[in-house]
Amino acid sequence: MVKIIDLRSDTQTRPTEEMYQAMINAPLGDEQNEEDPTVMELQKMAAEILGKEDALFTASGTMGNLVALMVHTSPGESVLMEEETHIMRCETGGLAVVAGLMLKTVPGELGCPKLDLLEKAIIGEGRLFATSSLICLENTHNAAGGTCISVEQMNAIAEIAKKHNLKIHVDGARIFNAAIALGIEPAHLVQKADSVQFCLSKSLGCPYGSMLVGTKEFIAKARKKRQILGGGMRQGGVMAAAGIIALDKMIDRLSEDHENARILADGLLEVGMQIDMRTIQTNLVFFEVPTHLVEATELVRKMKDKNVLIGKPSGNRIRVVTHKDISRDDVIFTIESLKEILK
Ligand SMILES: Cc1ncc(COP(=O)(O)O)c(C=O)c1O
């Protein structure tokens, strides 16, 4: 069988053999009644690893984020976030459609909202106002290039939040990539956050699901909001079993993906692509295709002919992502393929 090197996303992984075995053998129950032992074990692990009291298994990152927004806010309030966040760009406006929130975006630097502008954007109390109640951060920040928000930045944002009585939610779809790249414990990184959503189905290699973590009180409320969205499960342990393996076995290996991403970025630079190297921090690599070399869509097509799938261009900008199913040899083959196409 021809190997396809799929660099489009870290959602393109397949479960490990151990995950499949765990899924077959998982003890099961009715998750909506909190009787599924496997889901409960996964939730306990997720809470522990992020240093929070409790956790909830959700169908997706989008659902986890939306549930968090619904718990932290009331309809008619406003939520602040950096202007290129996933919640703003790619979650179908759920915050307005479902949660009834107004969005205020703030320009950022490598994915972190600029602190002075963040504070200025806060809407205070008043009869006429959509008062701000929540700050959302994205760590790592997808559109900025998989960049990390540091503990120091988190602390500075937490100061602002405290001063203005705002909660903080972290869309940590790839929070473990951030923790590994920054060389700190995940719990330390999110200590100042009131809630965190992270994806099992991205760099951790699971077929499904996300976790939402926070206080016991927050998670009790989140469980009801998840039910409103139709997110209560039955024998959810089939899926949760893969998550347990992921939290046990798939976090430490993320540094391999980061190394592969750096090698890939170096190779892309070598063949003439343009990259802001400040953004090469984790497993995402964004590059600009200079039109004098090749059209971006043409490059995607030619790479596909070599069985290498790369992201759909946005203008001339293309994203490639390393993950557990991309080996060092795959990265080298990708660079060689680029060289052949561009020679
Ligand atoms: C930063 C970020 N947040 C949230 C999500 C949404 O996750 P899901 O696709 O599981 O809904 C994604 C998905 O790509 C993401 O990159």
Reported as a single tens digit per residue, the pLDDT across 38-92 is: 999 999 999 999 999 999 999 999 999 999 999 999 999 999 999 999 999 999 9
**What residue type is assigned to position 239 of the chain?**
M
CA–CA separation, 238 vs 159, rounded Å?
41
Task: Give yes or no for residue 193 having a pLDDT over 90.
Answer: yes
Best of 12, 95, 199 for a ligand 1 pocket test (most atoms within 8 Å of beta carbon): 199
CA pair distance 278, 229, nearest whole angstrom: 39
Q: Letter for the amino acid at 19?
A: M
Residues in a beta bridge with 53:
none
Distance of alpha carbon 343 from alpha carbon 227, whole angstroms = 56
Atom 6, ligand 1: residue with shortest CA distance: 61
* Phi, psi angles (nearest 5°) of residue 163: -60, -35
Name the residue of 58, 67, 86 whose CB sits within 8 Å of the most ligand 1 atoms, as the mutation to test its pocket: 86
The answer to whether the bond into 58 is cis (omega within 30° of 0) is no
SS3 state at 106: strand
So where are the chain's domains? 5-12+253-342, 17-249
CB within 8 Å of 285: residues ≥ 6 apart: 145, 146, 261, 264, 265, 268, 275, 319, 320, 321, 322
What does R_g of the chain's alpha carbons equal in angstroms?
Answer: 20
Q: Which atom of ligand 1 is nearest to the CA of 209?
A: 10
- For atom 16 of ligand 1, the residue with the nearest CA is 142
Tokens of 299: 């490059």
Read off φ and ψ for residue 170, nearest 5 degrees. -105, 120
Q: Model pTM?
A: 0.98
In tens, the pLDDT along 88-120 reads 999 999 999 999 999 999 999 999 999 999 999
pLDDT score of 185 more than 90: yes
Q: For residue 168, give every residue at least 6 positions away whose Cβ sits within 8 Å of its Cβ, in sequence order, or none.
A: 134, 135, 136, 137, 157, 158, 161, 192, 193, 194, 195
Q: DSSP string covering 177-234, please?
A: HHHHHHTS-HHHHTTT-SEEEEESSSTT--SS-EEEEE-HHHHHHHHHHHHHTT---S
Fold of the domain spanning 17-249: Aspartate Aminotransferase; domain 2 (3.40.640)
Classify residue 207 as exposed, middle or buried by CB count within 10 Å of its CB (0-12, 13-18, 19+). middle
Q: Is 272 left (phi over 0), alpha (psi -120 to 50) or beta?
A: left
User: Does pLDDT of 310 surpass 90?
Assistant: yes
pLDDT at 343: 87
Is 332 in a helix, a strand, or coil?
helix
Matching fold, domains 5-12+253-342 and 17-249: no
Choose one of 142, 177, 196 to mutate for the ligand 1 pocket test, by most ligand atoms within 8 angstroms of C-beta. Answer: 142
What is the pLDDT at residue 1? 84
CATH class of the region 5-12+253-342: alpha beta
- Tell me the CA–centroid distance for residue 336 and ligand 1, in Å: 31
Average pLDDT, the chain: 98
List 94's β-bridge partners, or say none. none
- Which distant-in-sequence residues (6+ apart) come within 8 Å of 88 by Cβ? 81, 103, 105
Structure confidence at residue 265 (pLDDT): 98
Q: Which residues pair with 197 in a beta bridge?
A: 171, 212
Task: Name the 3-class secondary structure at 136.
Answer: strand
Q: pLDDT over 90 for what percent of the chain?
A: 99
Atom of ligand 1 nearest to the CA of 138: 1
Per-residue pLDDT band at 317 (split at 50, 70, 90):
very high
Between the CA of 173 and the centroid of ligand 1 the distance, in Å, is 6
